[in-house]
Amino acid sequence: MSLDLARIQFAFTSVNHFFFVPVTIGLAFLTALLQTAWYRSKREEYLRLTRFFGTLLVINVAIGVVTGLVQEFQFGMNWGQYSRLVGNIFGAPLAMEGLAAFFLESTFLGLWLFGWDKLPRRIHLATIWAVFFGSVLSGAFIMAANSWMQHPVGYAMVNGKPQLNDIWALFTNPVFVWGYAKVLFAALVTGAAVMLAVSAWQLRHGGDREVFTRSARLALVVLVPAILFTLLVGDELGVVEGRYQPMKIAAAEAQWTTSQPCSFSLFQIGGGNNDQTPTQIIAIPHLLSLLATNHWNGQVVGMNELQSQYTQQYSPGNYVPNVFIQYWGMRVMAYLGMVVLIIAVWGLWLIRRKTLATSRLFLWVAVWAAVLPFAMNTAGWFLTESGRQPWIVQGIMLTKNGISPTVSTTWLWISLIAFVLLYGTLATVDLLLMLRYSREPLPPPRTQADADAPVPAVTY
């Protein structure tokens, strides 16, 4: 019971935290681009867009920061034995994240927001890039820590305890390299989708046509390569994880038996941990071999074989993760990714024909498409984290051994309910504010006389 509650709480707070993180990284990048465009061209519309999207950025950063604190504290609060055992390895990238990245991001966000009229333009432009750089760096350390749980590297076992002996190994870990690239591209997809949706809504509702066409175009130009790379990198990440965590990938394909070549199931009815023979609706021959191994006739080891292998290697137990979550997590992520790609290409084509601003159907679709990256991100994390189960650190520690032994079920219920209520309220408020500010008109253009005067600072 304690284990389930602790896991539910961690999943709930992580998913919530990761609503805000990719928006922050993605919008910080786009806002920095807009401000750079203003700095170089001196064209007023870029300034207006910078201010407009900067406000949306700030609304999200606030919640991203405070929910991140909860993530960090939970390692000690709920996962005490885990922290005790691997804190010397897992903690190092977290501490480095704070020192090298998070200080940078937070301090410079303050400078950017409040520094409009206090810093020279060039320095002020540098501050938004510092915010973006800080957020990207921050992601690197967090992903290095997470990847270590998926594929532990750079340690030696001393008296049965893993001890760090090579910090660089954490950053050359193949799971980290591919996983981090994927997170970055996914963040750009999320930020660009939000910017596209807001621009589309404005264009549908009489916002400034020229200016919002410009922002829609910027969003699309970023979105198309970003989603393409997300899909490609995601595919390679699957191969890499298949190498180190074959069970995760086998479960993602609901592949119980070993087969060579292996077909890919597009859709199935039934399935799950107690149903090894679901009704497969469409199966594409060879595709899974290709996806999982990069070879036309590659062998995909099934869960039954892996299970008996693990039982011998470790100790008797159940090493199969939740197959339903794996199978559908994978598909939701991949299929929605395709949908986003199609929408983005459609948008680019409309821009080429110069009819984006008047295509009401596309604009309607683009507004709702903003939901997709969030669903994809969530599905992706379920796939990654649930697929690692029953391990908390692959091959080193089981999740059930990682919890804090003296935290009672009552305490867990109290904290879980408290976080659900608080996060629910905050997410609602955040969404309402985002919608409200997305529908605001652009800040008015400044008069010619003002153009050389400092831009007023943003205040609370």
Partner 1 sequence: MNNLVPFWFIIIAVLWTGFFILEGFDFGVGMLHSLVGQDDAGRRAAINTIGPLWDGNEVWLIVAAAAMLAAFPGWYATMFSGMYLVLVLLLMSLIIRGVAFEYRGKRDAARWRRTWDVLLTTGSLLAPLLIGIALGDLLHGLPINSSQNYTGSFWDLLQPYALFTGVALVLICLLHGAMFLGLKTTGDMHQRSGMLARRIAPVTCAAVVGFIIWTHVTASTAFFLNVIELLAILAVIAAVWLVYEHRDGFAFAATTITIAASIITIFVDLYPNVMVSSTSKAYNLTVHNTASNPYSLKAMTVVVVIFLPLVLAYQTWTYYVFRRRVSRQEFQPPALSPGATPEPASRPAAPSARPGS
Residues of span 101-140 touching partner 1 by CB under 8 A: 102-104, 106-111, 113-116, 118-119
Q: Least CB distance from residue 297 to partner 1, whole Å?
A: 44
Residue 277 vs residues 46, 248, 251, 323: alpha-carbon distances, Å: 57, 19, 13, 12
Core vs surface per residue 102-124: b (16+ CB within 10 A) or e: bebbbebbebbbebbeebeeeeb
Please give the backbone phi and psi of residue 394, each rounded to the nearest 5 degrees, phi first: -45, 120
* Chain position carrying tokens 């690239």: 181
- In the range 370-409, which residues lie near partner 1 by CB under 8 A? 404-407
Give percent helix, percent strand, percent coil of the chain, each to the nearest 5: 75, 5, 20
Shortest Å distance, C-beta 419 to partner 1: 8
CB-side neighbour CA atoms (13 Å) of 368 = 7
Nearer to partner 1, 76 or 272 (CB): 76
Q: What is the DSSP letter of 262?
A: -
Closer CB to partner 1, 61 or 383, in the complex: 61
User: Could you give the count of Cα atoms lying within 13 Å of 317 in the half-sphere of its Cβ?
Assistant: 13
Q: How many CB atoms lie within 10 A of CB 43?
A: 12
Q: Which stretch binds partner 1 (CB under 8 A): 226-234, 251-259, 375-383, 413-421?
A: 413-421
User: Is residue 119 a contact partner of residue 127, using CB atoms and an 8 Å limit?
Assistant: yes
Do you know the residue count of the chain? Answer: 460
- The contact pattern for partner 1, residues 420-449, with x = CB under 8 A and - = no contact, is --x---x--x---x--xx--xxxxxx----
Nearer to partner 1, 52 or 324 (CB): 52
Q: Would you state the structure tokens that stand for residue 31, as one six-digit string?
A: 């806002």
Binding map of partner 1 across residues 156-195, x = CB under 8 A, - = no contact: --x----xxx-x----------------------------
- Look up residue 300 and give its DSSP letter: B
Instruction: Report, in Å, the least distance between residue 386 CB and partner 1.
Output: 24
Of residues 52 and 319, the one with the C-beta less far from partner 1: 52
Contact set for partner 1, span 53-92 (CB under 8 A) = 54-55, 58-59, 61-63, 65-70, 72-73, 75-78, 80-81, 83-92
Q: What is the DSSP letter of 230?
A: H
- Taking the least distance from each CB to partner 1, the nearer of 208 and 253 is 208
Pick between residue 346 and residue 411 the one whose CB is nearest to partner 1. Answer: 411
Whether 201 contacts 367, CB under 8 Å? yes
Segment interacting with partner 1 (CB under 8 A) among 203-211, 250-258, 282-290, 358-366 = 203-211
Compare residues 167 and 371 and give the one whose CB is closer to partner 1.
Answer: 167
